[in-house]
Structure formats: C-alpha cells, structure tokens
Amino acid sequence: MRALEVDNLRKEFETKTGPLFRKKRETITAVDGVSFAIDRGEIFSLLGPNGAGKTTTIKMLATLLIPTAGTARVFGHDVVREEATVRRLMTTVLPGERTLFWKLTVKENLRYFGSLYGLTKAYTERRIAELISFFGMEEKANALVERLSTGQRQKIVLSRALLPDPQLILLDEPTLGLDPNAARQLRELIRSVRDQGKTVLLTTHYMYEADELSDRVAIINKGRIACLDTPDQLKRSINAQKIIRAETDVWTPACSSAFEAAFPGNSIELEPDRESVRLTIMVRSGDVTIGRLASIALECGATIRTVQVDEPSLEDVFVAFTGDRAELEGESDEQSA
Amino acid sequence: MSRAHSAERAHPITAWLRSVWAVTWRDVRTTTRYKSWFIASLIWPIIYPFSLVFVGRGLAGPSGEGLGRFAELAQTSDYQSFIILGSLAWMFVNINLWMGGLSLMTDRTRGTFDTHWTMPVSKLSLVVGATFASLILNFVPMVISIAFYAAIGWLQVSGSPIDIAIAILLVIPFLLGFLLCFSAFTVRFREAGMLVQVMRTVFAILCGLQFPLAVLPPGLQSIGRAIPLTHFIDVVRSVVIQGASVRDHSSSIGYVAVSGLIMIVVGVLAFELVRASVRRTGLVTGY
C-alpha cells in the first residue's frame, strides 16, 4: 500500500466580486485535477510558484478543506470519509512560526499538543524527552517559545509534528522566512526524519530545496501538475547538456538568425530588459562555446556583458514545462545558501 | 531517536477530557503569565460596580425618595447588592464571550487555528476548554469583588454559598451551548469583536442585569423571561440578598437546567454544521 494516493483532486472556490448589490459570483479553480502517489519512506516535493495550488492541495490532504472532486488516500484511508483515521496517521506543519504558543515553554507546548493528539501522558513525556534530545534542544526545554530563535522554533514545530510518531508528514513551505543557515539545518532535519522511516510530502517554491531534498518532485503550476519525476530525470527530460546564460546590450533578429545558423538544434530564449537582454541557451547538440557565441554577438553588433554556464536546474525544467520564467522571479535562489 | 515504539493513544473519552483540560490549562497559564492581567483583575471588579451604584444613588434623588419605587420594581430595597450582583453577572458574561466565544478567532489571529484543525482533537473541545479557562479566570475577579463590597458593607451575603454554587453550575450548560453557537459564528464570519459588544449589551438589557426587569416594556420583558440568564440572576439575587434556597426557585432552576441542555445540543449541531460548511467553502482558512 502506498503512503499517499491522490487521484484527480480538484478544488474550486466561489467568490463574489463587483460593487455592493451588484456582486457577481465567480468560481476560481485553485487545484485542477492533480494526481500523484507517494511511496513509503519517500520525500516528495510539490514545487511551484506562489498561487500555484500547493497549499490548497496540502490543506485538502490535511483534511482542512474538502475537495470539490477527486480522491486522496493516506495509507488507503480516504481523507474525506475517514478524516479521523487520517489525522492519526499523518501530521501537518503549516507555514509560519506562529503555530506554537509563545507564552508557553517548549515542554509545555509539546505536552499541550500531545494531549490534542490524544496521546497518553506517559508516552507523551517519553516522546518529548526523545525529541528534545534528537533536536539538541535540552537547554531550551524550559524556555518560553518567545525567547527562541526562528530556527529553534522551527525545530519545536517539527518536534510537535513527530510527537504522535506519524507515518506521513506534510510540510507546507517549511523553510519560508528562515535565514539560509536555519533553512539548511532544517533541510538536514527533514532528511533525518525520512531516515526514521517517515514519508514526507513537502511543498516549496525554492527550486534548490526541492532539488536537494526530494526523491521525486512534481512541478505544479496554475493548479495542475506540469511534470513529475526524480530531480535528475526531470533535468534530463529537458534534453539539455548545459545551459548558457548571458547578458548582452542588444540582441537583434539578425543575431538570432546567426545563432540558428551556427548552432542548429539549439534553442535560445530571450528576456529583454530596459538596458539589456538576457539569453538562456539550452545546449542540446553540437559544441556551443562561449567563444563562438561571443563572435556571433560581435558580428551582429551586440556585446556580451556577463556569461555563465550551468547544469540544467529545476528552474529550467519549470520554464521548459510551463514556459513561464516570470512566475519564478526572485524565488529560486534566496534559499540556496 | 528510538523507533521501537508506536504512539500510545488514550481511550477516546480520556483523550477528550485531556484535550479539554489541556486547552483550559493553556489559556490559564498563558493569561497568568501577563502581569497586567493580575493588576486588571484586581482593579476592574472593584471599580466597575461603583459607577452603577452611583448612578442608582443619583436617580434615587437627593434624599433617596426614589428607592421606594425601586424596591417595588426589584422586590428588594437593597439596591446596592442588587446592582453589584448584576454587575458581576455582566462581567461574567463579558469575560466568557471574550475568552470562550472568541477563542477560535483568537486562535486565527495567533496563527494556531489551522494547526488545531488538522489534528485529531475534537474541535468542540477547543471551545469547551477555553470556556472553562474563562470560568476559572472569572472566579478571581468575582471573589475579589464580592470580598471588597462585603467588606465595605455594600453587599449583604445572606444565602448559602452552596446554593450560590449550584445556581452557577446550572447555568454553565446554557453558557457552553451559547458560546458554541457564538464560536460557530466566528468560524463562519471570522470577525465577531463587535458582536461581543452587541451581545453583552443585549443580555444586560433583556436579562435585567443592571436594573429591575419590570422597567422594560412588557414585550421586552417576555423576551427577557425566555432567556435562562434572567432566571439565573433572579435566583442568585434571591439567594444572596434574601437568603432564599435554590429549592425555593425550583421552576427557574428547572428552566435554566433544561434550556441549558437544549442549548448544548443546538450549539453542538450549529458548530458541526458550520465546521462542515467552512471546510467545503474554504472559509476555514484565511483571516
């Protein structure tokens, strides 16, 4: 039996827009027929920009929202019809550090949530001791949560999710708002959680995070899954040996024609800015070198200002499958430290 | 971290009781960690009834000639005890609305609402626990107020404390049912701060908390008589001021108890219906 099976999941929200007394009903489809399955012990990422439908999907799986259509099963249990069983098999970590009680200590928070998970007192105490030791929080066990750093709070949030020894953990944007160091530590912790035999479903809009952590990734955009595979396989699927990114002062149609003649079978993507043009070249065949590219640019009156050669990234995969780089502007690299 | 064990879960009834207690303890602990709460709890129950007693004195005329008319309407000449007990009842309603009724709204603004709603705990226990916390925290200002006004001779406590406790215990089911309905409203509409102001004023007027019910127009009196809180304050006043027993008010006590049970059923149904509805519409999330 698989840890999670999602079949054609869909969520529509009704909204009213327009002036008072003349409001019109509008249906917004946040998730549009999402299907995927996760095996036990796997870290699976739902990757996509803000508003792609990741959080709505997680909220349906977490039994917070009822799907408009489709089904989702956690270890064979339907998230709508068997919500109580599902909530015992799975825990959810929603974004933000305000999911704890800041005026309670670390231990008081964990005891409180242990009671809400329906755990026995003896088990809760034993488990709290284990988790505090596992996360190296012994010195902070009796400190008020308001006195902890953001990274420490995130450890307590994760401890809370691990209290009932769940088989599946849903993590919605777990590193959102963390500094790069705390984010890196948290990623290590997520891996160690998986090493305990847990299955992890993670949503993120950080490409680097999905790439580094996940066994498999589903890229979600506009409520639909654009592609799904292992990060390596996804990168291979765009059929590019390397990616050349360059910035020039201009790029004329003559430049494009010269490029196509020199490097047949390779695609170039242009992003004009006010004072420059950004080029992304997916090198699929032949020998596209920086030297030859610079010569072509010179011949057509362009000057290359910067250039870098990369391995294909998940961002390139995202762009290849959705054709929308703008969606990811500013989101991909800030957590990659 | 050991992997040798799996989670040990309590019996469902034990788990429910523990979750209620956990929420109660959480709110009591959190509130009492603010020093300002202690200061406010000391001052508010003392100063609030003062203003109403002085309003009463002002309306009684220079030599208190209006007090005779008051005694006719209120069935007691002890206007100070009458007003102080009414003020305490109003404070009781007020704190319970803020702490119990708005508990899920507070949960939203705090950021813990969604987490609670993805957990196996019964969502009813979140409201019940918060209401018990407000009852416990209510107890302190009530005792301070009663002790103060008894000490300065403005409140004559003639009745048995056990009878007073019975009356208070019997009104709790009504209070819980009402607060469940109120919480359902806050989950559905998300903002209810203004409704608290409306409800506490409606109760103050219709239940005769700060004046004799007989001054209201007959229509409003009938509505007021249908509210269990009106019977509760009548019984408490009779027990405290006149030294009556709760047995002397068996019909009022019976009405409070039965309507309380009905209110609980209505509250649970309203809450569960709203819970299902907001999960479908998406109103459960967001602010």
Q: Which two tokens stand for residue B71?
A: 């005694």
Q: Which residue of A10, A56, A91, A115 to mutate against B (max B Cβ within 10 Å)?
A: A115
Q: A175, A199, A231 — which closes off a domain?
A: A231
Q: Can you say whether the dihedral through the CA atoms of B18, B23, B27, B29 is positive or negative?
A: positive
| pLDDT at residue A18 in the model | 80
Q: For chain B, what are the domain ranges?
A: 3-281
φ, ψ at A214 (rounded to 5°): -90, 145
Q: Which two tokens stand for residue A84?
A: 């109580």
Same domain assignment for residues A142 and A261: no
The total of structural domains in chain A comes to 2
Sort out which chain B residues have CB atoms less than 8 A from A13's CB and list them. 281-282
Among residues A257, A263, A240, A256, which one has the least CA distance to residue A321?
A240
How many Cα neighbours within 13 Å face the side chain of A220?
Answer: 32
Same domain assignment for residues A79 and A150: yes
Domain annotation covers residue A224: yes
Same domain assignment for residues A147 and A201: yes
| pLDDT at residue A131 in the model | 93
Domain annotation covers residue A336: no
Q: Would the CB atoms of B34 and A103 count as touching at under 8 Å?
A: yes
Domain annotation covers residue A334: no
Q: Would the CB atoms of B21 and A133 count as touching at under 8 Å?
A: no
| Contact residues, A window 119-178, toward B, CB-based 8 Å cutoff | 119-123, 126-127, 130-131, 133-134, 144, 163-165
Q: Report pLDDT digits (tens) over A45-67.
A: 999 888 889 999 999 999 999 99
- Rounded CA-CA distance B153/B147 in Å is 10
Domain housing A276: 239-311
Same domain assignment for residues A153 and A244: no
Same domain assignment for residues A79 and A175: yes
- Closest chain A CA to residue B121: A116
Q: Would the CB atoms of A87 and B7 count as touching at under 8 Å?
A: no
Domain annotation covers residue A169: yes
Instruction: For chains A and B, count residue pairs whose Cβ atoms are closer than 8 Å.
Output: 118
Three-class secondary structure of residue A222 per DSSP: coil
- Closest chain A CA to residue B122: A116
* pLDDT over 70 at B198, yes or no: yes
Whether A115 has its CB under 8 Å from any CB of chain B: the answer is yes
| Contact residues, A window 230-249, toward B, CB-based 8 Å cutoff | none
- Rounded CA-CA distance B52/B43 in Å is 16
- CA angle, A227 then A200 then A326, to 5°: 40
Same domain assignment for residues A148 and A275: no
- Rounded CA-CA distance B212/B56 in Å is 12
| pLDDT at residue A325 in the model | 60
- Rounded CA-CA distance A46/A219 in Å is 6
- Rounded CA-CA distance A4/B197 in Å is 47
* pLDDT over 70 at A320, yes or no: yes
Domain annotation covers residue A99: yes
Same domain assignment for residues A260 and A303: yes
Same domain assignment for residues A277 and A162: no
Same domain assignment for residues A164 and A300: no
**How confident is residue B59, by pLDDT bands cut at 50, 70 and 90?**
confident
Same domain assignment for residues A206 and A261: no
SS (H, E, C) chain B: CCCCCCCCECCHHHHHHHHHHHHHHHHHHHHHCCHHHHHHHHHHHHHHHHHHHHHHHHHCCCCCCCHHHHHHHHCCCCHHHHHHHHHHHHHHHHHHHHHHHCHHHHHHHHCCHHHHHCCCCCHHHHHHHHHHHHHHHHHHHHHHHHHHHHHCCCCCCCCCHHHHHHHHHHHHHHHHHHHHHHHHHHHHHCCCHHHHHHHHHHHHHHCCCCCCHHHCCHHHHHHHHHCHHHHHHHHHHHHHHHCCCHHHHHHHHHHHHHHHHHHHHHHHHHHHHHHHHHHHHCCCCCC
- For residue A2, give the DSSP letter: -
Listed in order, strand segments (DSSP E) in A197-299 are 199-204, 216-221, 224-229, 242-248, 267-272, 277-283
Strand partners, A247: A278, A306
| pLDDT at residue A324 in the model | 66
φ, ψ at A67 (rounded to 5°): -65, 150
Nearest to A123 among B1, B7, B280 (CB): B7
Same domain assignment for residues A104 and A250: no
Q: In what order do the strands lie in the sheet with A77-78?
A: A24-38, A4-17, A69-74, A77-78
Q: Can you say whether the dihedral through the CA atoms of A248, A253, A257, A260 is positive or negative?
A: positive
- Rounded CA-CA distance A145/A128 in Å is 15
φ, ψ at A18 (rounded to 5°): 110, 175
| Structure ipTM over 0.85, yes or no | yes
Q: Report pLDDT digits (tens) over B261-285.
A: 999 999 999 999 999 999 998 888 7
- Rounded CA-CA distance A207/A331 in Å is 8
Q: Which residue of A25, A28, A65 to mutate against B (max B Cβ within 10 Å)?
A: A65
Residue whose token pair is 């708002």: A177
- Name the pairing type of β-strands A224-229 and A304-310: unpaired
| Mean predicted confidence (pLDDT) in B230-253 | 92
| Mean predicted confidence (pLDDT) in B228-235 | 94
* pLDDT over 80 at B1, yes or no: no
Q: Report pLDDT digits (tens) over A182-228.
A: 888 889 889 988 988 899 999 988 888 888 899 999 999 999 999 99
| pLDDT at residue A286 in the model | 65
Q: Would the CB atoms of B1 and A130 count as touching at under 8 Å?
A: yes
Same domain assignment for residues A296 and A175: no
How far off is chain A from B24, nearest CA to CA, in Å? 10
Q: Which two tokens stand for residue B21?
A: 């207690």
Sort out which chain B residues have CB atoms less than 8 A from A91's CB and list them. 118-119
Residue A7: its H or E element: strand A4-17
